[in-house]
Structure formats: structure tokens, C-alpha cells
Copies of this chain bind each other. A is one copy, B any other.
């Protein structure tokens, strides 16, 4: 892959990368399409990265479909698929990790310690292997995108980071490979994240509510109405650039939440 990337760069090609964990859905496809528009050659990487999973998380059961993924990438015009294996990416005696110290601490980082360290490390490795000009990530993993942007800025990677909009199912549920874990009945309740965000946005835009505490209370009610068993990890209102918490909504605010729906941990977010 390194030799191939070097040859492409020597040929004057603009390289785009879409790093994924595979089991591709419409969200991933939209990222590949976006990368196609911005570069000459799109490399899609598929790697279920052990370093970003904690021991109790779903690494082992994370869904995989290499053959299906390759077909989807081909169909949408992706040029190269890079599918390394874990033993090559983390050989014996592996010991180097990258930390984005502040942005990694809150929200997902607080609930999943070490998660972003795993993400930034694998993304840097993919960057060093493929030497892209641009890299496209999804808005659903908003904090991830911000953490990667900070890493790229701090470590002087000559790479432009694009954060592309979340693609949603008809009922509003954000596309996620983890949605396949649900039974049909559970799947219906999974809409609770989006429904609560939609209510929050309505409160801000239409009812002109400004106080985070009032909005959060309403969101909890919406979630519990739709999915009584839901366990809410957090509902956070932050500045969309710094991820610093806000108490009063202004137009720099993004609401992010993580909810466990029948044992499946989902995340979503929306600018308010």
C-alpha cells in the first residue's frame, strides 16, 4: 500500500482516504462519494481496530462483510480498498500511541477511556501508509472528527479533514453498522436518539428555549417514552468547536448523546 501510494503521488494524483471499520452502509458510501469529488484516487480502508475497543466492548462480535463491502466500494467508484490484518498493524512489541489530550477527555472519551487514543493511533498509521491529501469522516462520530482534526493540526499532517453529514434511515436513526444488532422491535425503539434531538432542535428554533437544563429534561422524557429500557450515557450540550460545555444555547452549540438501547450503544448529535 505504501509503494502504491508513493507511485500515485509521484504520478501527481490527489489521494483521498475514507477510513472505516467495514460493514459499509449508506453513511460510508456518502463519504466515498464525497472523497471521489475531492480527489483523483479514493482509498477506502477497512480495519476493525482492536486499539479503540475496551476489553468489555463489542470487538469480537463487530459485524464484518468483506465481500459485500468490496462490491459496494466498486459500485460507487472507489478505486482502492486497503484491508490490513491486526497482526500486521499491531505486531509483537507494538508500543507507540498518539494522544490528543484535551479533546479526548470528555463525552465519548470519558465513557470509553483509551478509545480516542486507539482512533488517533490507527488513523495516523493509515495516514502514514496512504499519504492522502484529504480524509473524509462522518459527522455521527463528531468528537472523533474533532480529535482527528486537532491531531492533524498539531502533528502538521498536510491533510485536509472533511466531516460529512450523517446519513439517516427513513425514521431518522443515524446509519451505523451496530444497527444490525437489533431485532425489528428493538430497531423501532432505536429512533429515540434522533427523536430526542429533533425535539431539542424544535425547542430551540421554534419555542426559543435557551436553557440546557430544560431541553435535557425533555430529551430524557422523549427517550424514555420511546424506549423505557434505554440507558443514557450522556446528553451533552457543547461548543461545536471546543467541545466545552454550555449552559445557555447559542448558535455555536451542538448536542451530542450516547444511549444504550437494548444493550447496543448508539451515538448521535445535532447542531442546535
Contacts and interface: CB of A to CB of B under 8 A. Distances in A.
Interface string A145-164: 00000110011111000000
Contacts of A94: 154
The binding surface of chain A is classed by DSSP as mixed
Interface in A118-133: 120-121, 124-125, 128-129
Contacts of A99: 96-99
Copy total for this chain = 2
A170 to B, nearest CB: 39
Contacts of A151: 96
Interface residues of A, number: 29
A120 B121 CA distance: 14
A6 B150 CA distance: 22
Contacts of A98: 96-99, 155
A80 interface: no
A79 interface: no
A185 interface: no
Interface of A: 2, 6, 9-10, 12, 93-103, 120-121, 124-125, 128-129, 150-151, 154-158
